[in-house]
Amino acid sequence: MTDYEAMGRALELALRGTGKVSPNPRVGCVIVRDGRIIAEGWHDHFGGLHAEVHAIESATESLDGATLVVTLEPCIHWGKQPPCTDAILATKRRSDGTIDPTRGISRVVIGMPDPNPLASGGIERLRSIGIEVVVGVREHECRWLNRFFIKHVTTGSPYVVAKVATSLDGCLATATGQSQWITGEESRRRVHALRAEIDAVLVGRGTVEKDNPHLGPRLVRGRMPRRIVLDTALRLDPTVRLLCDEHRTSTIVCTGEQASRSAKAEMLRRNGVSIVAVPLDAKGRLSLPDALRLLAQEYTITSILVEGGQQVLSSFAEQRLIDELHLFVAPIIVGNGMHAFSAFSVSSLEDAPCWRIHAMGRSGEDMHIVLLPQQGAGSA
Ligand code: AOF
Ligand code: ZN
């Protein structure tokens, strides 16, 4: 078994933590000896065992001369869990506590360094105790797996994914506002899969009042994300589903500082809804960079799925705050309809946000295109 193949299995195992480990990264680990996998582990939920310790503890045969393959640099810090480098070193100890270089794990293969300054340093530590360390196997895939964690830990802001479902001619809805459902069942299922993976789903007040959405991942198995509504003056109808259903304690309303001190804000708080007071920008709208930073700081939200509507999508695009755009395009032409981003305009093409295609394919009868901001044009 090659390091590449073993890392492939570690990447698969890491996915078992999806939706459960945030704000931590998803991490997978395998231990290989004599060309086969003898133990597997993964970081299963926030606060739980780290992947390496999980793998080492589940081994039922000797680890002498084994290679440990892990998607992320093993940690050296005491957090909710003890340092993984200590657990690796412990496999080399004799019963009297001294190190025997011929025992235990002799080689460690790492997908990517840990960008968290509190935890990193494992590479040097392992090398200093005589373990052979290889770094960067399938690094690109490991970075993609943990793009939410990386953005959050390096910038203090969440990774922003935006989802747009349009007609062939770029409309969210007809001129009269009819939008359910332009795209088909498979596209809706894919959006629900994104909801199950992400920390929070974000919409504007207009969308809540128009669609009264649930925003949960009902078409797939998965937990309810936090639900965020942007509502500058707190004019939201208090009887909407997001503020009243059994998940209302997962709802966060971002509102202006003045509105956050109103009697209505107090009433919502009493019902279990969270209120975040956000400074206004020069145009009197909620400052989105501040809102993102506050959501990361106060609620440890590492990733957000922006679902609309047109105003919110336009503001995020205009301010270059989208790190990843999922475009679902249905094969239908609606003509003079409501365009996805028409609440902003550019004076010349040089000012237009540019994207590059990361992936594209078919989603039932629709197209699904994943786009990333072109270098220098986005925030990632
Ligand atoms: C690893 N293996 O499986 C994970 C790591 O509070 P703690 O102890 O859970 O530490 C969390 C930090 O440790 C997290 O921010 C990241 O830097 C690293 N996560 N490290 O060696 C793992 N989940
Ligand atoms: Zn660790």
pLDDT digits (tens, 9 = 90+) for 104-153: 999 999 999 999 999 999 999 999 999 999 999 999 999 999 999 999 99
Model confidence at 175, pLDDT cuts 50, 70, 90, reads: confident
Q: By alpha-carbon position, which residue is closest to atom 23 of ligand 1?
A: 50
Identify whether the C-beta of residue 259 lies closer than 8 Å to the C-beta of residue 284: no
Q: By alpha-carbon position, which residue is closest to atom 2 of ligand 1?
A: 50
Active-site residues, by number, are 52
pLDDT digits (tens, 9 = 90+) for 74-104: 999 999 999 999 999 999 999 898 989 889 9
Q: Considering every ligand atom, which ligand is closest to the CA of 148?
A: 1
Ligand 2 centroid – CA 74 distance (Å): 5
Ligand 1 centroid – CA 136 distance (Å): 18
- Which value, in Å, is the radius of gyration of the alpha carbons in the chain? 23
Average pLDDT over residues 157-169: 97
- CATH fold of 3-145: Cytidine Deaminase; domain 2 (3.40.140)
Looking at the CA of residue 153, tell me the nearest atom of ligand 1.
15
- CATH fold of 154-373: Dihydrofolate Reductase, subunit A (3.40.430)
Beta bridge partners of 227: 201, 251
Looking at the CA of residue 47, tell me the nearest atom of ligand 1.
9
Kindly report the pTM of this predicted structure.
Answer: 0.93
Q: How many CB atoms lie within 10 A of CB 281?
A: 14
Ligand 1 centroid – CA 158 distance (Å): 18
Q: By alpha-carbon position, which residue is closest to atom 3 of ligand 1?
A: 50
- What is the domain partition of the chain in residue ranges? 3-145, 154-373
Pairing assessment for the beta strands 171-173 and 338-339 based on DSSP bridges: antiparallel
Looking at the CA of residue 51, tell me the nearest atom of ligand 1.
3
Q: Is the pLDDT of residue 375 over 80?
A: no
Average pLDDT over residues 346-358: 94
Q: Is the pLDDT of residue 378 over 50?
A: no
**CB-defined site of ligand 1, < 6 Å:** 24-25, 27, 43, 50-52, 72, 74-75, 79-81, 84, 114, 116, 119
Contacts of residue 299, Cβ cutoff 8 Å, sequence gap at least 6: 200, 226, 252, 274, 276
